[in-house]
Amino acid sequence: MENSPPAFSTSTATRILALDYGSRRIGLAVTDELGLTAQGLATLRRTNKRNDFDHLRRTIKGYGVGEIVVGLPLRMSGEAGPQSEKVLEFAEELRRRFKLPVHLFDERLTSVEANRVLDESEVRLRRRREVVDQLAAVLILQAFLGSRAVRGD
């Protein structure tokens, strides 16, 4: 089931968009209008840079996104690896293209947690591939919102 952005946004740019960046797919989640909860959006199946950024542009505009958070895959030791470098480059390109604040958030264990949740809900393997990136983006966004609440932002 495809989640498409609303045709227009009646609110000011207040929502936060979370991205779980991967080489084949990008998981997406967005906050509600109050910025309190995270809801998953359809996973973006990557084709090429132009189409990927066009899809993100439509999503940002349609949902009135004012900030973006990107999951940063770190090793368990906390060190950056090869995928971290790709995510850093992607985040910089998001900043240049959309002129929005882009936050990097430690995503260690979000995919593990997403798979655990899917195991507990007995989601079939075929369906799992469709929703694991989306769920990872939701978990990244929820953790980001939680960290902001703790800091009082």
Residue 82 scores a pLDDT above 70? yes
Give me the CATH code for the 15-151 domain, please: 3.30.420.140
Higher pLDDT, 125 or 137: 137
Q: Which long-range contacts (CB under 8 A, 24 or more apart) does 96-99 make?
A: 97/53, 97/57, 98/56, 98/57, 98/60, 98/68
Local confidence band at 14 (pLDDT 50, 70, 90 cut-offs)? confident
Please state, as a whole number, how many other Cβ atoms lie within 10 Å of the Cβ of residue 66. 17
Higher pLDDT, 122 or 79: 79
Task: List the structure tokens of 9.
Answer: 């946004």
Read off the amino acid at residue 53.
F
Residue 68 Cα distances to 54, 79, 105, angstroms: 16, 23, 10
Domain ranges of the chain: 15-151
Kindly state the average pLDDT of the residues 19-35. Answer: 94
Residues 94/68, Cβ–Cβ less than 8 Å:
yes
Local confidence band at 145 (pLDDT 50, 70, 90 cut-offs)? very high
* Model pTM score: 0.83
Kindly state the average pLDDT of the residues 115-123. Answer: 68
